[in-house]
Structure 1
Amino acid sequence: MNVQLDCIFCIQRQALEAVRLVTKDVKKQEKILKVVMAKLLEINWNSSPPDIADVVYNMIRKESKEDDPYKNIKKECNDIALGMYPELKRIVDQSSTPLLTAARLAISGNVIDYGTGNFDINKTISLEAGNKFRIDHFSEFVNNLEKAENLVYLTDNAGEIVFDKILLETIISKYKFKNIFCAVKMTPFINDTTSQDAEYIGIDRMPGVEILNIGVDGNGPDHSGKTFTDIIAENNMIISKGQRNYETLPDSEKIFFMLIAKCPFIAKELGVQQGDFILKRGSG
């Protein structure tokens, strides 16, 4: 998606949130923000929103000398989601359609907001129960799982990865693959999952699942590089979580995008309403 003027304000808001995490000193916050705003004036606004966000976030890391501003919040999100795990697992296990239920829960996990710390398990469960996919390629999703030899699961946020784990467990219990990869960021980027988050919630202890690091110098995932091109070429089933992956991944029929349409411009591009659940197969 091409950048909209509203995207710049959204990125500025995210920058302010990050700066307030790295320091409580208002003068330091102001200094870092001025550097960020100057950088925003320099860079090409014809870039995609994720590309601009990458530049801004790396600038904050550089100026603050804080490699992972969201470290504590990510742990909090993971702990809260892990506390929800037994109940979520029970819901899937008792469902007459466990795979569908697990897929909806995986998307509903995207409501976890690192900035509020206010999570309501009943609200999350009701989101799953009350939201059908506005774009519904679930039957194709199942058909591809039945035929796929290799599976790649591209995660999104900390906390949300616990919901992803439930979907992965449900898939693995029903289908067999030669290789299963759970893809995370190589280095910290906002509240996105890293290998530390994946290991913390137990992905590394799932039989046959390998954690795959993607991205370079915090700019990941690097979807344009040879490495990711190879990943798509070598694996015939890719599950992609979240808006950022939807914006930056190539449109391949091997990829199934799972997200809540949070951004009004992404919702418009998809032809849906804000807040709708999406399970969309790529068409390229």
Structure 2
Amino acid sequence: MKLQEHCLTCIYDQTKRVCELLHVNTKQAHAIDLLAHQHIKAFDMNQTPPHNAAPLYEAMAELLNVGDLYAEFKKASSEKAKAFLPFCKNKIQNSQNKLFEATKTAVAGNVIDLAAVMLYDLEEELEKIYHTPFAIDDFKALEQQLARTQTLVYLADNAGEEIFDKLYIQTIKELYQNIEVYYFVRGRPIINDLTCKDALASGMDDVAVIVDSGVPTPGLAMEFMNENARVIFERAECIISKGMGNYECLGETKGLPIFFLFKVKCNVVARAVGAQLGNIICKRGI
């Protein structure tokens, strides 16, 4: 998905949010503002938003001498999510279709996004999403694909979501016992996206093989995958992709056995996917 004019404002606003969250001083805020304008002016409109944004976020981290801009906020997101595990487990266990309810649980986790424009109340969103139909509903196709899958690649998104992802993966492995799950995370800290460290802290390795994809962008840009990740990715019979960033990078890639799960949080993605702001999506790849 190519960068759009509206994306420029969104990315710029994200730099302002970093300043607010980290309580930077006036001098630092001014330096980041200049940095943002320099990068945005040089953005390539033929590339995806994650491709363009990554170098800017890396430059901000270097300027502030911070290895992981969102470290504390990622921890807070994961801790908040854990409080809702009993509620989500109950929803799945009491459902007539556990896989469907677990898929909804994974999408519900996608509301945890410090980088998104839309604010959220997690408890309210969780309850709402369980009662909200998918605006694009390829769940049946996903269910059929999982039934013939041995290698499942699961593309992680934001910190906090892994708590819900873990429940989803547990349900998948309970229903399809021959599946091996590989949980792909980012190669380095970028915004609030999951890294190996974050996934390990939440015990994801109890249910899946955590894979450092090597990708430095806030969305899985395939050309940046390391060799180990690429081999696993290419042999997967099914790929579950969480979040808008992964959709922005892979939504126009043909021939992948991929299913996109996310909540639509911006108008650019809404137009690209053919949905409305706030819709939840379970979309098969092209």
| TM, length-normalised to structure 2 | 0.91
Determine whether 1:197 maps to 2:191: no
Aligned length: 280
Residues in 2 aligned to 1:217 and 1:281: alpha-carbon distance in whole angstroms: 25
Determine whether 1:124 maps to 2:135: no
Counterpart AA for 2:177: K
Which segment drifts farther, 248-257 or 72-81?
248-257
Segments of 5+ residues of structure 2 without an aligned counterpart are none
1:45 offset after TM fit, Å? 3.1
Query: What is residue 25 of structure 1 aligned with on the other side?
Result: 25
Determine whether 1:265 maps to 2:250: no
Query: What is residue 111 of structure 2 aligned with on the other side?
Result: 111
Which segment drifts farther, 136-145 or 22-31?
22-31
Segments of 5+ residues of structure 1 without an aligned counterpart are none
Alpha carbons 1:253, 1:281 under 8 Å: kept: no
The CA RMSD measured in Å over matched residues stands at 2.0
What secondary structure, in the 3-state scheme, does the structure 2 residue paired with 1:88 have?
helix
Counterpart AA for 1:129: Y
Residues in 1 aligned to 2:236 and 2:265: alpha-carbon distance in whole angstroms: 28
Determine whether 1:82 maps to 2:82: yes
- Closer, same or farther: CA 192–174 of 1 in aligned 2, 3 Å: same
Query: What is residue 100 of structure 2 aligned with on the other side?
Result: 100
Using CA pairs under 8 Å that are at least 6 residues apart, name the structure with larger relative contact order, 1 or 2: 2
Counterpart AA for 1:138: F
Residues in 2 aligned to 1:55 and 1:85: alpha-carbon distance in whole angstroms: 35
Give aligned-pair identity as a percent: 31
Alpha carbons 1:214, 1:222 under 8 Å: kept: no
Residues in 1 aligned to 2:216 and 2:235: alpha-carbon distance in whole angstroms: 24
Query: What is residue 223 of structure 1 aligned with on the other side?
Result: 222
- Closer, same or farther: CA 224–156 of 1 in aligned 2, 3 Å: same
| TM, length-normalised to structure 1 | 0.91
Query: What is residue 44 of structure 1 aligned with on the other side?
Result: 44
Residue number among 274, 277, 280 corresponding to 2:283 in the alignment: 280
Alpha carbons 1:101, 1:128 under 8 Å: kept: no
1:229 offset after TM fit, Å? 4.6
Query: What is residue 152 of structure 1 aligned with on the other side?
Result: 153
Determine whether 1:244 maps to 2:229: no
What secondary structure, in the 3-state scheme, does the structure 2 residue paired with 1:180 have?
strand
- Closer, same or farther: CA 165–281 of 1 in aligned 2, 3 Å: same
Which segment drifts farther, 243-252 or 18-27?
18-27
Deviations 1:47-85 (Å, cap 9, x if unpaired)? 221111112111111211111010000000000001111
